[in-house]
Amino acid sequence: GAGVSQSPSNKVTEKGKDVELRCDPISGHTALYWYRQSLGQGLEFLIYFQGNSAPDKSGLPSDRFSAERTGGSVSTLTIQRTQQEDSAVYLCASRFTTAGELFFGEGSRLTVL
Amino acid sequence: QQQVKQSPQSLIVQKGGISIINCAYENTAFDYFPWYQQFPGKGPALLIAIRPDVSEKKEGRFTISFNKSAKQFSLHIMDSQPGDSATYFCAASKDDNTDKLIFGTGTRLQVFP
Any A CB within 8 A of B1 CB: no
Smallest Cβ–Cβ distance between B42 and the set A45, A103, A106 belongs to A106
**CATH code of B18's domain:** 2.60.40.10
Fold classification of A5-112 (topology level): Immunoglobulin-like (2.60.40)
User: Are residues B44 and A91, on separate chains, in Cβ contact within 8 Å?
Assistant: yes
Q: Please, which pLDDT band fits residue A25 given cuts at 50, 70 and 90?
A: very high
Any A CB within 8 A of B40 CB: no
At B82, is the secondary structure helix, strand, or coil? helix
Domain boundaries, chain A: 5-112
What is the pLDDT at residue A77?
A: 98
Nearest CA-CA partner of B91 in A104, A7, A60, A69: A104
Residues of A in contact with B45 (CB under 8 A): 104
Query: Under 8 Å CB-to-CB from A63, ≥6 apart: which residues?
Result: none
What is the pLDDT at residue A55?
A: 86
Q: Please, which pLDDT band fits residue A2 given cuts at 50, 70 and 90?
A: confident
Show the beta-strand stretches assigned E in A40-98: 43-50, 53-56, 65-69, 75-79, 88-95
Residues of A in contact with B34 (CB under 8 A): 100-101
CA distance B26 to B41: 31
Phi-psi region of B66 (alpha: psi -120 to 50; beta: other; left: phi over 0): beta
CA distance A21 to A105: 12
Tens-place pLDDT, residues B38-90: 999 999 999 999 998 899 999 999 999 999 999 999 999 999 999 999 999 99
Do the bridges between strand B10-14 and strand B107-112 make them parallel or antiparallel, or are there none, so unpaired? parallel
CA distance A110 to A92: 14
Interface of A with B (CB under 8 A): 4, 30-31, 33, 35, 41-45, 48, 50, 55-56, 59, 91, 93, 95-98, 100-107
| CA quadruple A11, A15, A19, A21: dihedral, nearest 10 | 50
Tens-place pLDDT, residues B39-52: 999 999 999 999 98
Tens-place pLDDT, residues A44-102: 999 999 899 998 899 999 999 999 999 889 999 999 999 999 999 999 999 987 557 89
